[in-house]
């Protein structure tokens, strides 16, 4: 029975992910950027949102809209989103498309859609990812983030975690753990959106894109 669950889970997760990844305008990358902006807008409406001071102090952010968390005894998660880092002048870089995948053990069943935001203390954790990936909870630690938009939010927190995670969940699970998840560069999506002549490292170093969806994400992030 355990072997059957292990075999079924990848198909369940992949099938659900394919359904939620479908687009109506022919541009998966544009839709992903608009979805990321919507996630930030929804987080901004929440009473216990990401502290503005945290966004000011930390140097990187990953936004994964509608990440799927599926379980049948053994769980798995998969989502596609974007990553951005803060440049020297304080502005945010152009978005880099990324993929988050992972698994988990324990008694669980069902499928859950999660809007996930990860805030990184150092941008190097993202900019150093090239052809490979890194594991959250392995290569770099993550913690549940402090909440409250006031500037005094840090009085009860030293803001010393390497990564703070925030999630909005809908479905059957009560929560989500991202430890053991791998974050990797989605090179295919980057090439489709920006062209083959730009690497993820170059995208993390520039803020030159004039694409409407890119501007929307940056404006929404600045308003948090």
The model's pLDDT over 167-221, given as tens digits with 9 standing for 90+, comes to: 887 654 445 677 778 899 999 999 999 988 788 989 999 999 999 999 999 999 9
For residue 117, give the nearest of 199, 29, 37 by alpha carbon: 37
- Give the integer Cα–Cα distance in Å for 2 and 119: 36
For residue 65, give the nearest of 125, 21, 108 by alpha carbon: 21
Question: How do residues 58-69 score in pLDDT, each as one tens digit?
Answer: 999 999 998 887
3-state secondary structure of 188: helix
For the whole model, what pTM was predicted?
Answer: 0.80
CA-CA-CA-CA dihedral for 46, 25, 110, 50, to nearest 10: -20
Q: In degrees rounded to 5, what are phi and psi of residue 186? A: -90, 85
Q: Are 180 and 133 in contact (CB under 8 A)?
A: no
């Amino acid at each position: 029975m355990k072997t059957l669950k292990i075999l079924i889970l990848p198909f369940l997760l992949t099938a659900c992910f394919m359904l939620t990844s479908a687009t109506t305008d022919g541009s998966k990358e544009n839709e992903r950027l608009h979805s990321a902006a919507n996630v930030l807008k929804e987080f901004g409406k929440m009473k216990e949102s990401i502290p503005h001071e945290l966004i000011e102090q930390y140097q990187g952010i990953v936004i994964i809209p509608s990440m799927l968390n599926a379980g049948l005894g053994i769980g798995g998660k998969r989502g596609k989103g974007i990553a951005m880092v803060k440049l020297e002048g304080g502005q945010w870089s152009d978005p880099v498309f990324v993929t988050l995948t992972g698994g988990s053990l324990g008694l669980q069943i069902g499928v859950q859609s999660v809007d996930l935001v990860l805030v990184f203390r150092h941008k190097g954790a993202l900019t150093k990812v090239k052809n490979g990936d890194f594991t959250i909870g392995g290569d770099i630690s993550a913690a549940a983030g402090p909440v409250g938009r006031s500037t005094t939010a840090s009085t009860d927190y030293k803001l010393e975690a390497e990564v703070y995670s925030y999630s909005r969940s809908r479905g059957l699970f009560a929560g989500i753990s991202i430890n053991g998840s791998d974050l990797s560069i989605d090179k295919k999506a980057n090439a489709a959106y920006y062209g083959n002549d730009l690497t993820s490292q170059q995208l993390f170093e520039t803020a030159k894109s004039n694409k409407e969806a890119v501007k929307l994400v940056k404006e929404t992030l600045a308003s948090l």
